[in-house]
Amino acid sequence: MIDANRLILVVGSALVLLGLSSRIVKRHSLSPMLLALGVGVLIGPRVFGVIDLERAVEPGRVLEHLARVALALSVFDIALRTTPSDLRRNAKRITILLAVVMPGMWLLTSLGAGLFLGFPLAVALLLGATLTPTDPGVASALVTGVLADRMLPRRVRMSLQVEAGANDGLALPFVVLSGLLATLPGSQAVAEWVVEVGRQLAVAVVVGLAVGAAVRWLTRLSGAHRLAGEDWFPLTSIGTSLTVVALAHVLGGIGVFAAFLAGLIFSDGLSEGLREPIQNVHRSATKIALTGVFIAFGMVLPFDRWWPELGAGGLGFALWTLAFRRLPVAFPAVRAVGTGRVSSAFIGWSGPLGVAAIYYLAYIQRYKFADYERVFLAGSLAVTASVVGQTVTSAAAVRGYARLAGAGVDEGEELEFDAPLP
């Protein structure tokens, strides 16, 4: 059994520390998510043993459900910050990131899994699929805040955030195809995949658009007639994101993608008087959920088994994933749609792993394939390397962008270029 008082004490203390130090944490090239991961490692059974999550519950199921809730809140949070103008101005770039870069990341990561870890093709593809989506929580943390607002154009920041919001759900077709290939004959796997993914996407689109439009209409109606108190009104977005992700899953759809679509519809046309309080409350709830996921992940992180069981191949794969999973395909692809070299390089580097990868690493356990333990070991190492690597380089990357682009505005202002991105 888990001691509830210990758990509440740890989570509460972590939220207090992160809440009071978030700006200074970022100033020192750290991130709240990295610190939450560290807290989980320290209180877990491999260090101080304050809480042993693995003995009390099935950690895979806990991680899957925690991460699904956090993802729903995270992608909805990104949608709340995304305006129709953001989608129009970045349409080509976002399209190429989802249609070209995302499959490219899957294949490049899978190649690394085969080269460094010797996995069979289907298992390598499955590991690659789990590590394909960029993380909405970590991505937002790296490209938001005072420094990013001053030194990164809004078009760069929103391209990365919308990509992360969309690809977390759209990675599921890659995961399902790879999982079926790992457990079924090829032709049967592809046939089942076509039917399954078609249904999942259709359900996600219908549920996301319908619920988002319905709640937007109800929100406007409630605001016009003052049916809700000001302190309760902002809870609408939290309730909508959780409702959509659960309803889509019940109906067999991609819940995370449905939540992102619902958020885009819900936020479109929302008055500024409603948007700001809703965004503030939703963002706080999202940060609580993300903190919980990274603490839980830290508690089950098998770092003591990485070297004995993966050896140099595990280290090579983690470095491959950090350096070559994204940049070789993202830089030329984004350049092809008219983005300048500096912006293309920054976008090519900024593809952090995080909650989405944790979710899919737990999700694929249902396929019951023989190499799952090694896949989780390799995936957890890659996620940790990405969180650390992206976090410690984020401030330098942002400042390097500003220096090379000759850009930057005063604190409190938001950078944007009228000309094409440099």
pLDDT averaged over 10-residue windows placed end to end, the chain, 422 residues: 73 80 65 88 87 74 92 94 91 96 97 96 96 79 68 89 93 95 88 94 96 90 71 85 95 95 89 81 92 93 96 97 95 95 93 94 92 96 94 84 77 70 84
- In the prediction, which pLDDT does 105 show? 97
Q: Which residue has the tokens 């249904």?
A: 199
User: Is 213 inside any structural domain?
Assistant: yes
User: Is 103 inside any structural domain?
Assistant: yes
- In the prediction, which pLDDT does 143 show? 66
Please name which of 354, 242, 245 lies closest in space to residue 294, comparing C-alpha atoms: 354
User: Is 30 inside any structural domain?
Assistant: no
Domain enclosing residue 178, as ranges: 57-289+313-405
User: Is 279 inside any structural domain?
Assistant: yes
Q: Record the tokens describing residue 304, joined without a space.
A: 């003591």
- In the prediction, which pLDDT does 23 show? 67
- In the prediction, which pLDDT does 6 show? 80
The runs of H, that is alpha helices, within 118-254 are: 121-130, 136-143, 146-151, 154-170, 172-183, 186-224, 235-250
- In the prediction, which pLDDT does 124 show? 97
pTM (two decimals): 0.94
Domain count of the chain?
Answer: 1
Distance of alpha carbon 384 from alpha carbon 67, whole angstroms: 16
Read off the CATH number of the domain in which 90 is found.
Answer: 1.20.1530.20
- In the prediction, which pLDDT does 207 show? 97
User: Is 51 inside any structural domain?
Assistant: no
User: Is 336 inside any structural domain?
Assistant: yes
Distance of alpha carbon 80 from alpha carbon 201, whole angstroms: 22
User: Is 8 inside any structural domain?
Assistant: no
- In the prediction, which pLDDT does 3 show? 66
Please name which of 133, 130, 191, 192 lies closest in space to residue 360, comparing C-alpha atoms: 130
User: Is 15 inside any structural domain?
Assistant: no
